[in-house]
Each structure stands twice: as structure tokens, then as C-alpha cells.
């Protein structure tokens, strides 16, 4: 009982001390001190519109109802800050000694309005004003005298209005814990709220808040997190805005952050940041709005590469310049080819190719990669330049190895007014089988060779592009083999179904020129040289329909027949047919027979003409007494007739003169 009595007496004593303390707290002085500090710090009028009373909880101090801090006269969107109450905490020991030392502040349900004028003025420029009280202390922002070790903001709302750009950002449900020491010390902030519908958390620290508010550059650390990512920055910054330091960004979704500034997240292709964007490196942000990355490591989905980049704001989209280097990079989505390079037996895909990602930025980038995968083709040891201008991507390959050889030239993907792809490429000493599999879905040719290709395809799906492909090119191949049929055996055995061992046609060289029109590759000068003979060829390949209609003609004859049998290659790529072209052979034989008959008839006509001509000469000689012979020229015949006439005239004249 004695113990309980002592406890009760102790509680009564503490309560008495607490109640007595309420009468010791100079509420009006504390509130006036706080409002003076706020006025001096902000250069704005500060008014307490309600009652002021002492408090014991949550700390010893006062509660002032109705706080209002004004904005400059040119702002008509509302006061800088308007709150339900301002709670102030004072130091107990200092208060007992007769001094007032503010340690803590809490603002309940404040509404904050920040405005940037069209001429660049800002409502948070706390350089002082006529309405601020005169204290005799230095100029500047005045924040050096704010002096709260801890300030809390509960259930706040903030509106940022930019009259120049029209940007209007609203933050709601904002809770913040601020450290605002005096003498321009290190200020800290922990904030969490809803920004334009996005839940956002921010932790920041600034060495020298007063100078930072005045526009000076000061050390800053900043961490931000949201649903879908986080970011950290350590360096120096100002409110210009300008910053330089180390940045780390890791995001699976940037849309919430862009929504803060009322910007839409562009649709990025798979492999180019659709699922993840990560950036680390040394960054610089200028007050002109340009962004610069050095010693950077960029990760887009699963692809990582080193980067030195400069981003500037263009009229319609950002402009990206710099260099990228790394291992493997997948560009298949930009070409729309995906895995369709090796054409399926059922035909080319008619799925619409989405190249909207080409319009997200403009770019001018130097590339140095171990490999680039275009879906239908893969190259390595890449030294190239990529330019992207209003949806038109151009890849200039300066030094690129592919298929064990070298490829150079230009590859273009144009997304303007629909989709088109084109190129002007040359290949030297490349492996034929993987090259033809990539560009034509055909892998029956072994060996190495040189080739050139100029092409253009238009369409929003791969099938349409292949149906309308146009261009031209040439090939020059060294020793190799054609798989799937034995041409030499077919010729020797007069059997188009002959396969032979390995079902292959070995050759020493192949040369050909070709054109492409409406998706059909046409050639009429193929020359195949092989140990067993020579073969010429002509015909076409329909790329869209994936069919072949081609004829090869051997220079050698079949066995002992003396007949050169052409072989006709027809059908779909997946199931080619080989057969003797008897119709063509018959046409050739008929042509030869017609030529022989024509020659025989001409010979007979020539002989009859010669006979009639000789008869005419004989009659003329007999009649005229001349010696016109076969082969005499017209002048010779005329001279002979003229001499005959002279002789006859001379004889007649002699007779008239009596023989003298």
C-alpha cells in the first residue's frame, strides 16, 4: 500500500509540475519568434490567424492555429503556405533559464504553392522583400536563421505551376521530416507523397541550404524510389537546374516518374528498355536542359554496354549523340525480321511490324560491338555508325565481319509513312550457306564467295516486303558444292532423279548477275565451271512465294547420245523438283532442224540463181560476142560491151569507105 501511495503521489507531483509549466511557457513570445524567423528566412509576410496556446505533447512548446505565409504580389494562385496549425517545440533547460530556443516544428495539413513566371521569376526566391521585418542580419535567402533541428510536415499538398511551359505538378498526401539547422549547415529531408498520381519517396541532403536556395552550387545527395524503380545521385547541384556527379538508375517502369512532369513514356522495343532500363556513370545536367553521361554503363533489358552520351532537347524529340561499345546487341526488333530470316515453309509472316520505337529519339551514335544481331543476319567485330532521324534508321558499316568474311555498306530501316527496308551491301569471302540462309532462307550452297546486293522493300509486314522487293546484284563464288541434287550424275545418266553418293554437285566456280523486281530474282547468265564440265543457267526465284523456276544447261553431252539435256529446277524451296527439260530440248532440236532446212533451201536457191545467171551470161556472150565471165564486176561488163560496140562501129565504117 505504501508503494502504491508513493506512485500516486509521484504522478500527482508530475502533473502539478506539468500544469505549472504551462503557465511558465511564454506562448506569444515563442509564436512571435517563430513567425519572425519564417519571415526573415522567406522574405514573405507571416501571419498567425488563430489562437496560440501552450502544449506539453508531443513536446513542450506552443500550438499556433492558422499559419499563412504569403507569395509575391505577382502570384495570384494563392499563398506560399497555408496550414491548419504550427506546433513549436522549445528546449526545456533553456526555457527554465529564461531563454527561448526553438528545436522542433510541425506543420499540420499545409497547402504549398510554388510558381514560376513566364519571365523566369520564381515565387521561392527568398531574397527578401519590403514586407519582411528588418533584423539587421545579412541578406541572401535568410534560411541561415531558420534554425529548426527537426521540422515535420504532415498531410501536406504542394502545387508547382510553371507559367512558361504550362507544367502543373501536384503532390498530395505529403509527409516530410526536415532538418533545417542554422548558419547554413547541412539540411536533410525525408519525403513521401503522391505526385500526379505516383507514389514517390525522396531522401535528400544539402550542404548549405541557404546558398542552394539562392541559386549557388552545393554538395547534394539524393535518393528517390517509386513503384517500378529507384535512383541515387551524389554530387553537386543548384536550382538552375544544374548538376554534376555520380548517378545510378534502375527502373522496370519509368512511366510513373515521367508522369510527374506530364510526359508520356515512349513505347520501347523489346531489347531496348521495354522491361528494364539501368544507367550508372558520371552525369552532368546543364541549365539549358542537356544531359551528359561519361564512363557510363547502360543496360537495356538484357543488353549491357559502355556509353558516352549527350542528350539535348529537340523540337519534337530528344537528340542522342555519342558512342556505344560492348558485347552482343540484338537489333532484330528494329528490322522487324526477328527469327524470320530463315523463312518458314508456310510463308513469310504477315504480322504487322511495329517500328514506333524509332520515333522515340533522334540519334547519331558510333558503335563498336562484338556482335550485332539483326534477326535475319548477325555480324561481329563491328565498327559502324548508326543515325536515327525522325523514324529513319541508317546503319553505316565501316568494318564488319560476317560469315567468316567481311561485309561493308549501308542498311536502312525507314518507319516514315509506313515501313521500308533497304541496303547497299558488299560481301567478300563470306561463307555462302549461312549468308543465303539469312537473306533468302536457302541453305543448299556450300563454299565461299563475293557478292554485292542493292535492295529495297516496302510494306508493314515481312510477307509484303518480300513480295515487292526490288534491286540487283552479282555473285562470284569459289570452289564449293550445291546440296540436294547431283547435277553431274543427272547429266551422265539422263536421269533427273539420280542422287548419287552424298546428293551434291561439286563445282570450281560460279558467276552470275541478277535483278530483283516485284519480289522475283531473275538471272540469265549463270556460269558454273566444274571438273566434270561446264553449265550455264537462267531463270528466276520468287522470294515472296518462296518458289524456284530455273533451268541449267550442261556443255557436255549425255553418255554416247551426243545430246545436251537441260535440267529444270522448280517448286517450293522446301521441296524442289529436278527433271529433264524435254520441252526445252524439243524446242532446241526443232530450232536446229529448222535452221538446217533453211540452210539447205538457201543453198539450193543460191545454186539455181547461179545456174540462171550463167545461162544469161552465155546467151549474152553468144549474142554480143563478148566474153563476160562469172565474177566480172559491173564496170568490167560495161567496158566489155563498150569495146564490142567500138569494134562493130569500126568494122561498119571500113565497109563504107571501101575497105580502107
Asked if residue 84 has pLDDT above 90, the reply is: no
CA torsion sign, 540 to 546 to 547 to 553?
positive
Query: Which of 282, 313, 344 marks a domain boundary?
Result: 313
- pLDDT (0 to 100) of residue 118: 87
Mean per-residue pLDDT over the chain, rounded: 76
Q: What is the pLDDT of residues 142-185, one digit of tens each?
A: 444 445 677 788 888 888 888 887 888 888 888 888 887 655 67
- pLDDT (0 to 100) of residue 92: 47
Same domain, 72 and 156: yes
Cis bond leading into 204, ω under 30°? no
Which of 50-54, 236-240, 365-369 has the weakest average pLDDT? 50-54
Render 206-240 in DSSP notation, one character per residue. EE-HHHHHTT--EEEEEEEEETTEEEEEEEEEETT
In this structure, is residue 148 part of a structural domain?
yes
Mean pLDDT, residues 417-424 taken together: 91
- pLDDT (0 to 100) of residue 464: 92
Asked if residue 20 has pLDDT above 80, the reply is: no
Asked if residue 124 has pLDDT above 70, the reply is: yes
pLDDT band at 61 (very low <50, low <70, confident <90, very high): low
Which of 53-62, 304-313, 356-365 has the weakest average pLDDT? 53-62
Same domain, 143 and 284: no
Same domain, 62 and 163: yes
Percentage of the chain lying above the pLDDT 70 cut: 64
C-alpha dist (Å) from residue 161 to 109, 219, 261, 287: 20, 27, 11, 19
Query: Of the candidates 387, 403, 453, which has an alpha carbon nearest to the alpha carbon of residue 425?
Result: 453
Same domain, 268 and 120: no
What is the rounded distance in angstroms from the CA atom of residue 357 to the CA atom of residue 360? 5
Query: Of the candidates 412, 373, 422, 366, which has an alpha carbon nearest to the alpha carbon of residue 391?
Result: 412
102 versus 652: the higher-pLDDT residue is: 652
Same domain, 52 and 155: yes
Which of 45-59, 132-146, 412-426, 508-522 has the weakest average pLDDT? 132-146
Which of 202-206, 413-417, 622-626 has the weakest average pLDDT? 622-626
Element (H, E) at 464: helix 462-467
- pLDDT (0 to 100) of residue 321: 94
Q: What is the pLDDT of residues 99-120, one digit of tens each?
A: 444 567 778 888 889 998 888 8
Render 597-645 in DSSP notation, one character per residue. HHHHHHHHHHHHHHHHHHHHHHHHHHHH-----TT--HHHHHHHHHHHH
Please give the tally of structural domains in the chain: 3
Grid cell at residue 96:
527554465
Q: What is the pLDDT of residues 328-365, one digit of tens each?
A: 777 766 555 544 444 444 678 888 888 888 888 899 99
**Residue 261 structural domain:** 240-313
Asked if residue 508 has pLDDT above 80, the reply is: yes
Query: Which of 313, 343, 371 marks a domain boundary?
Result: 313
Same domain, 288 and 153: no
In this structure, is residue 554 part of a structural domain?
no
Same domain, 79 and 157: yes
> What ranges in 480-631 are assigned the alpha helix state H?
487-493, 582-624
Which of 187-201, 356-370, 436-450, 463-477 has the weakest average pLDDT? 436-450
Asked if residue 24 has pLDDT above 60, the reply is: no
Same domain, 29 and 175: yes
What is the rounded distance in angstroms from the CA atom of residue 297 to the CA atom of residue 326? 10
Which residues lie below 8 Å from residue 228, measured CB to CB, with a gap of 6+? 251, 252, 253, 254, 255, 256
What is the rounded distance in angstroms from the CA atom of residue 171 to the CA atom of residue 166? 16
Residue 9 phi, psi dihedral angles, 5° rounding:
-65, -40
- pLDDT (0 to 100) of residue 648: 65
- pLDDT (0 to 100) of residue 155: 87
505 versus 123: the higher-pLDDT residue is: 123
In this structure, is residue 390 part of a structural domain?
no
In this structure, is residue 646 part of a structural domain?
yes
274 versus 437: the higher-pLDDT residue is: 274
Is residue 595 within 8 Å of residue 524, measured between CB atoms? no
Same domain, 88 and 176: yes
pLDDT band at 517 (very low <50, low <70, confident <90, very high): very high
- pLDDT (0 to 100) of residue 491: 59
Q: What is the pLDDT of residues 526-552, one digit of tens each?
A: 998 887 778 888 999 999 889 999 988
First to last CA, the chain: 200
- pLDDT (0 to 100) of residue 172: 86
Asked if residue 324 has pLDDT above 80, the reply is: yes
- pLDDT (0 to 100) of residue 529: 86
Please give the sequence-ordered ranges of beta strands (E in DSSP) within 130-289, or none if there are none.
148-162, 168-180, 186-195, 198-207, 218-226, 229-238, 242-251, 277-285
Same domain, 259 and 176: no
C-alpha dist (Å) from residue 617 to 413, 448, 606, 644: 80, 70, 16, 15
Q: What is the pLDDT of residues 242-257, one digit of tens each?
A: 899 999 999 998 887 7
Mean pLDDT, residues 597-621 taken together: 69
Asked if residue 613 has pLDDT above 70, the reply is: no
Same domain, 59 and 147: yes
What is the rounded distance in angstroms from the CA atom of residue 369 to the CA atom of residue 329? 7
pLDDT band at 442 (very low <50, low <70, confident <90, very high): low
- pLDDT (0 to 100) of residue 484: 61
646 versus 27: the higher-pLDDT residue is: 646
43 versus 273: the higher-pLDDT residue is: 273
pLDDT band at 141 (very low <50, low <70, confident <90, very high): very low
User: What's the whole-model pTM score?
Assistant: 0.61
In this structure, is residue 103 part of a structural domain?
yes
What is the rounded distance in angstroms from the CA atom of residue 113 to the CA atom of residue 116? 10
In this structure, is residue 247 part of a structural domain?
yes
Query: Which of 313, 336, 352 marks a domain boundary?
Result: 313
3-state helix, strand, coil in the chain (%, to 5): 25, 45, 30
- pLDDT (0 to 100) of residue 13: 36
Asked if residue 392 has pLDDT above 60, the reply is: yes
Cis bond leading into 353, ω under 30°? no
In this structure, is residue 357 part of a structural domain?
no
Sequence-separated contacts (24+) of 221-227 with Cβ below 8 Å: 224/200, 225/200, 225/201, 226/198, 226/199, 226/200, 226/201, 226/256, 226/257, 227/198, 227/199, 227/253, 227/256
Q: How far is CA 362 from the centre of its chain?
A: 9
Grid cell at residue 2:
505504501
Amino acid at each position: 500500500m505504501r508503494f502504491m501511495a508513493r506512485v500516486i503521489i509521484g504522478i500527482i507531483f508530475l502533473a502539478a509540475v506539468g500544469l505549472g509549466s504551462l503557465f511558465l511557457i511564454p506562448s506569444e513570445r515563442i509564436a512571435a519568434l517563430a513567425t519572425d524567423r519564417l519571415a526573415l528566412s522567406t522574405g514573405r509576410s507571416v501571419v498567425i490567424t488563430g489562437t496560440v496556446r501552450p502544449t506539453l505533447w508531443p513536446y513542450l512548446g506552443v500550438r499556433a492555429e492558422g499559419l499563412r505565409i504569403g507569395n509575391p504580389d505577382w502570384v495570384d494562385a494563392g499563398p506560399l503556405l497555408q496550414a491548419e496549425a504550427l506546433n513549436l517545440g522549445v528546449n526545456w533547460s533553456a526555457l527554465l533559464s529564461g531563454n527561448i530556443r526553438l528545436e522542433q516544428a510541425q506543420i499540420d495539413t499545409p497547402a504549398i504553392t510554388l510558381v514560376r513566371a513566364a519571365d523566369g521569376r520564381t515565387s521561392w526566391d527568398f531574397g527578401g522583400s519590403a514586407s519582411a521585418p528588418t533584423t539587421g542580419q545579412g541578406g541572401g535567402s535568410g534560411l541561415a536563421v531558420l534554425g529548426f533541428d527537426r521540422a515535420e510536415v504532415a498531410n501536406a499538398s504542394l502545387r508547382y505551376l510553371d507559367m512558361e511551359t504550362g507544367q502543373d505538378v501536384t503532390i498530395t498526401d505529403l509527409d516530410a521530416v526536415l532538418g533545417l539547422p542554422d548558419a547554413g549547415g547541412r539540411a536533410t529531408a525525408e519525403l513521401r507523397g503522391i505526385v500526379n498520381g505516383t507514389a514517390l519517396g525522396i531522401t535528400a541532403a544539402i550542404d548549405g541550404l541557404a546558398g542552394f536556395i539562392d541559386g549557388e552550387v552545393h554538395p547534394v545527395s539524393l535518393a528517390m524510389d517509386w513503384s517500378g524503380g529507384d535512383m541515387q545521385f551524389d554530387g553537386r547541384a543548384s536550382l538552375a537546374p544544374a548538376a554534376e556527379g555520380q548517378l545510378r538508375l534502375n527502373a522496370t517502369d519509368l512511366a510513373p516518374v515521367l508522369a510527374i512532369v506530364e510526359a508520356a513514356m515512349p513505347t520501347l522495343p523489346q531489347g531496348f528498355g521495354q522491361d528494364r532500363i539501368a544507367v550508372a556513370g558520371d552525369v552532368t545536367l546543364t541549365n539549358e536542359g542537356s544531359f551528359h553521361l561519361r564512363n557510363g554503363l547502360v543496360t537495356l533489358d538484357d543488353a549491357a554496354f559502355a556509353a558516352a552520351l549527350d542528350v539535348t532537347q529537340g523540337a519534337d524529340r530528344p537528340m542522342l549523340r555519342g558512342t556505344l561499345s560492348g558485347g552482343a546487341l540484338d537489333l532484330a526488333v528494329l528490322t522487324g525480321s526477328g527469327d524470320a530470316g530463315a523463312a518458314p515453309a508456310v510463308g513469310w509472316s504477315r504480322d504487322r511490324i511495329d517500328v514506333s520505337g524509332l520515333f522515340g529519339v533522334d540519334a547519331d551514335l558510333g558503335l563498336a560491338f562484338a556482335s550485332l544481331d539483326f534477326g535475319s543476319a548477325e555480324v561481329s567485330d563491328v565498327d559502324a555508325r548508326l543515325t536515327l532521324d525522325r523514324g529513319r534508321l541508317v546503319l553505316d558499316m565501316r568494318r564488319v565481319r560476317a560469315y567468316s568474311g567481311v561485309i561493308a555498306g549501308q542498311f536502312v530501316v525507314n518507319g516514315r509513312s509506313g515501313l521500308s527496308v533497304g541496303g547497299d551491301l558488299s560481301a567478300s569471302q563470306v561463307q555462302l550457306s549461312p549468308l543465303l540462309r539469312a537473306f533468302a532462307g536457302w541453305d543448299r550452297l556450300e563454299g565461299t564467295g563475293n557478292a554485292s546486293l542493292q535492295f529495297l522493300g516496302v510494306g508493314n509486314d515481312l510477307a509484303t516486303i518480300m513480295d515487292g522487293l526490288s534491286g540487283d546484284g552479282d555473285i562470284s563464288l569459289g570452289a564449293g558444292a550445291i546440296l540436294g541434287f547431283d547435277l553431274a550424275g543427272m547429266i551422265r545418266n539422263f536421269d533427273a532423279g539420280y542422287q548419287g553418293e552424298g546428293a551434291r554437285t561439286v563445282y570450281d566456280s560460279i558467276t552470275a548477275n541478277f535483278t530483283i523486281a516485284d519480289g522475283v530474282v531473275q538471272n540469265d547468265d549463270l556460269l558454273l565451271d566444274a571438273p566434270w564440265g561446264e553449265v550455264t543457267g537462267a531463270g528466276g526465284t520468287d522470294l515472296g512465294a518462296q518458289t524456284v523456276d530455273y533451268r541449267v544447261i550442261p556443255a557436255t553431252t549425255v553418255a554416247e547420245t551426243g545430246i545436251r539435256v537441260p535440267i529444270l529446277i522448280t517448286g517450293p524451296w522446301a521441296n524442289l523438283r529436278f527433271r529433264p527439260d524435254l520441252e526445252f530440248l524439243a524446242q532446241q532440236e526443232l530450232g536446229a532442224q529448222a535452221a538446217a532446212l533453211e540452210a539447205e533451201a538457201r543453198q539450193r536457191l543460191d545454186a539455181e540463181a547461179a545456174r540462171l545467171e550463167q545461162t544469161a551470161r552465155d546467151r549474152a556472150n553468144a549474142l554480143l560476142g563478148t566474153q563476160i565471165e562469172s565474177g566480172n564486176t559491173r564496170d568490167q561488163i560495161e567496158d566489155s560491151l563498150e569495146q564490142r560496140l567500138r569494134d562493130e562501129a569500126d568494122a561498119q565504117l571500113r565497109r563504107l569507105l571501101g575497105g580502107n
